[in-house]
Amino acid sequence: MPGYPALPEGIAYGGDYYPEQWPREVQEEDVRLMREAGVTLVSLGIFAWVLLEPAEGRYEFGWLDEIIDRLHAAGIAVDLGTPTATPPPWFSRKYPDSVPVTREGVRIGLGSRESACSSHPAFLAATSALVTRLADRYGDHPAVVMWHVHNEYGAPLGECYCAASVTAWRDWLRLAHESLDALNDAWGTPFWGQRYGDWDEIDAPRWSHTVVNPAQRLDYARFSNDAHLAHYRLQRDLLRGTRKPVTTNFAGTVNCKSMDLWRWAPELDVIANDHYLDGERRDNHIHLAMSADLSRSLAGGGPWMIMEHSTGAVSWQPRGIAKRPGEMRRNSLAHVARGSDAVMFFQWRASRFGAEKFHSAMVPHAGTDSQIWRDVVALGSDLRELAEVRGSRVAAEVAIVWDWESYWALELEWRPSGDLAFLDRISAFYETLWRTHVTTDFVHPSADISGYRVVVAPSSYLLTEASAKNLQRYVESGGNLVVSYFSGIVNEHDTVHPGAHPGVLRDLLGLSIEEFHPLREHETVTLSGGATARVWSERVRLTGARSVQTFTTGPDAGHPAATVNELGAGTAWYLATAPLDGLRDLLTPILDRAAVSRPHDLPDTLEYVQRGRHVFLINHADVAASVPGVTGTDVLARTPFNGEVPAGAVTVVRLS
C-alpha cells in the first residue's frame, strides 16, 4: 500500500491507547493482552501535551519513551499522535485570548478539548516547538510507523470568532479576492447596503438578530477550514523530514460538516477516518458504508484506514447503545470491504475517569471475561486471515456528487425550505444504491468522472459554471447523470446563476423551473408512478427533456416530476421531489440502461462489496441469505464457499 510502507503487514489492528491513564502494571498487562488479541498498531500521545511539556519549554519524554519501547519489544507498531488538540492549562493561562470564541461571543471554558484557536500566533508557535521536538526524538524510532496529527479537526471546534481569527480572516480575504471591489461583487454587498470601503471594516459573520450575508458566511466556512488545514500543514511539514507517513483522523467523513475534506485529502499521506454508528438507528450500517465509501473516495479509490470506531457504546450520543451480537465484526469487516487496510478502535482500554469513561473499548470495564473481549480476539484472528486483502482496490461504476461547499451553502438560513438538507438527499440515493448492491464512489463535481456509468447529483445547490460544464461533458460523452431538485442554483459565492433555475443546468437537463413550490410541513404529493413524495414540488418546464413521471397531486399536478434529456451520447435525468418510497423504481431503469453491473436476487439486507478479487458478504438480517453465483474460497472458514451467509455473519470469498 503506497504511502505508508512502514506499517505492519496485513490489515493493521489496534486502537487509541492512553497509557498515561494507567499504572505500569496495567500497561504491562495491556501489552500482553494486545498480543493475545493480535494488535499490530496503536495510536499514542493524542492528548498528552501537558504530560510531554508540563511547563513552557520543559519536556518530559521519559514515560513515552518507555511505553514505545515496551510496545516495540512486543512487536506492536506506533501511530504517534501530536497532542495539539489539548493545549495545556499553562498555555491557556498564559495566552487567555487564544481560547476560542463562539459565534455568539462566548469564550469557551477550559477542562475540555480544542481550547486554542488555530489562527492564534502563540498557538502556532507552541505547536511548532513541540512537534519539532517530537519529530527529533521519535522520527527514527523503529516502532513509530506513522504520525497522527492533532485529533478530529473541526469537531467540536469548527469556526472561531476570536480576535486572532478576525485578523487571519482579513488576510485570507485579501488572498481569496483580488480586490475589495471583487469582494464586494462576490458578496453581493449592494444588498442591505453592506459595501466595504476598507478591509478592516470586515468582521467575522457573528450571530445577529437576523440573517447575515450568506456569501460572507460561506467564505468564513472556507477560511475556518483553511485555518485548521494550515495548522495541520505546519505540523505535517515539520514531520516530513522523518520520512514516515503523516495523517490526521477525520471526525467522520460524512459527519464532519465543517471541514472540506476534498481540500484535506491531498495533504495527507493516508486517509484516516473515524466512524461512529448512530446508535438509535437500526440501519446505521448503511451510514457506515457511506462513510467508508467517502473515505475511499478521498483516498482516490485506494486503501485508507478506519482510525476510530467502537466495540460498543459511544459516549457522546443521547444513549450509548451497545452493539448487537456480531455487529462489531460486521462493522469492522465492512470497513475492510470498502477499502480500509486497518481496523482501529477508540479505544484500547475503557477509562476510569474523564468525559468518556462510558465509551466502549477493546478492554471493557468488565475486563477480559466478557463477550467484547472474546469478539476482539476473534476479530484479530479474522484479520490475520484477511492479510491478503491489503492494498487491493474497490471498483465502483456509480458515483455520487458530494461537495462540502454546497453542503455549507445549502444549509445557511432562508433557503426556500427548511426541509432542504444535504445529507437527507445524499442518503436517500445512497441507501437505494446500497440496497441494490451497487457500490458507490463519491466525487467532487469538478472531478474526472468519465469512468462512471452513472453519476448522481442529489444535492448540488452550489454548482460552479465550470463544474456544470464538467457534468455536461460527461453526459455528452455518453454518461448518465441523475440530478435532484434544487441543484445548480448558485455559484461559488451563493449568487443565483442568471436566468431561470437551474441556471447552469438548464441546457444539460433540457428544462427550466418556473417556480419552486416547497411543500408544507408533513405535506405529501403523489407521482404518476405511484410514489409518495415530500418536501418539494416545483413547476418544471420542458425545453428538450421529456417527462418520465408527472405529479398527480399538489401544486404541480399534471406537470413533470421526473424527466430525462438525451444529450450527445448520454442521458440527463431530473427528479423534482423527494420520494418517500419508489426511488429504487426510478433508479433501476437508469442503472439498467447504463448496464451497471450488480448481483441480482439478493436480499436487500445483504451487503455485497467486491474488493480486488474478494467479495465481502455481510448479512445484516436475522435469517441466512443465499448468494447464488459467487464461487470461490471462504477465506475466514478456509473452506469452499457454500453459497449461504448465516444470519448476522460475514463471509469473505476469494473468487476462483
Footprint (CB under 8 A) of a copy of itself, residues 358-387: 358, 364-367, 370-372
The number of residues making up the chain comes to 656
Residue 211 interacting with a copy of itself (CB under 8 A)? yes
Residue 518 interacting with a copy of itself (CB under 8 A)? yes
| Of the candidate residues 23, 318, 558, 629, the single one contacting a copy of itself (CB under 8 A) | 318
Nearest to a copy of itself of 419, 634 (CB atom): 419
Nearest to a copy of itself of 320, 568 (CB atom): 320
Tell which positions 403-422 bind a copy of itself, by CB under 8 A.
Answer: 413-419
Peptide bond preceding 5 in cis form (omega within 30 of 0): no
Decide: 309 and 346 in contact? Cβ < 8 Å.
yes
Tell which positions 214-243 bind a copy of itself, by CB under 8 A.
Answer: 214-216
Cell of 199: 478591509
Minimal distance in Å, beta carbon 648 to a copy of itself? 14
- For a copy of itself (CB under 8 A), the number of binding residues is 118
Alpha helices, DSSP H only, in 533-634? 583-593
User: 256 a known binding residue?
Assistant: no
Candidate segments 129-137, 170-178, 463-471, 509-517, binder of a copy of itself by CB under 8 A: 509-517
Question: What letter represents residue 416's amino acid?
Answer: P
Candidate segments 15-23, 470-478, 594-602, 632-640, binder of a copy of itself by CB under 8 A: 15-23
| Of the candidate residues 230, 378, 421, 500, the single one contacting a copy of itself (CB under 8 A) | 500
CA distance linking residue 515 with residue 493, whole number of Å: 22
Cell numbers 471493557 label which residue?
Answer: 364
CA distance linking residue 227 with residue 236, whole number of Å: 14
Output the CA torsion 81→86→92→96 (10° steps).
110
- List, as one string, the DSSP characters of 173-203: HHHHSSSHHHHHHHHTTTTTT---SSGGG--
Tell which positions 82-111 bind a copy of itself, by CB under 8 A.
Answer: 83, 86, 88-90, 92-93, 100, 102-111
Minimal distance in Å, beta carbon 515 to a copy of itself? 6
Candidate segments 234-242, 321-329, 422-430, 607-615, binder of a copy of itself by CB under 8 A: 321-329
Instruction: Out of 53, 114, 159, 308, pick the active-site residue.
Output: 308
CA distance linking residue 228 with residue 500, whole number of Å: 38
Q: Which residues of 258-281 are buried (b: 16+ CB within 10 A; e: fewer)?
A: bbbbbebbeebbbbbbbbbbebee
Candidate segments 347-355, 430-438, 453-461, 525-533, binder of a copy of itself by CB under 8 A: 347-355
Convert residues 547-576 into a mask of x (bound to a copy of itself by CB under 8 A) and - (unbound): --------x---------------------
Convert residues 586-605 into a mask of x (bound to a copy of itself by CB under 8 A) and - (unbound): --------------------
User: 151 a known binding residue?
Assistant: yes
Measuring CA to CA, how many Å separate 184 from each of 86, 195, 219, 414?
A: 38, 6, 12, 21
| Of the candidate residues 264, 516, 551, 573, the single one contacting a copy of itself (CB under 8 A) | 516
- List the one residue out of 77, 2, 36 whose CA is nearest residue 341: 2
Residue 47 interacting with a copy of itself (CB under 8 A)? yes
Nearest to a copy of itself of 367, 391 (CB atom): 367
Instruction: Out of 53, 114, 152, 397, pick the active-site residue.
Output: 152
The neighbour count for residue 515, using CB atoms within 10 Å, is 12
Residue 200 interacting with a copy of itself (CB under 8 A)? yes
Residue 354 interacting with a copy of itself (CB under 8 A)? yes
Which residues, 6+ apart, have CB-to-CB distance to 207 below 8 Å?
A: 103, 104, 105
- Residue 152 is a catalytic residue: yes
Cell of 376: 476482539
Ramachandran category for residue 572: left, alpha or beta (phi over 0 → left; psi -120 to 50 → alpha):
beta
CA 323 vs. chain centroid, Å, equals 22
Residue 57 interacting with a copy of itself (CB under 8 A)? no
Q: 3-class DSSP state for residue 345?
A: strand
User: 255 a known binding residue?
Assistant: no
Give the residue numbers marked as catalytic.
152, 308
Residues of the binding site for substrate:
113, 151, 316
**Binding site: residue ranges?**
113, 117, 151, 160, 162, 316
Task: Please give the annotated binding residues for Zn(2+), written as ranges.
Answer: 117, 160, 162
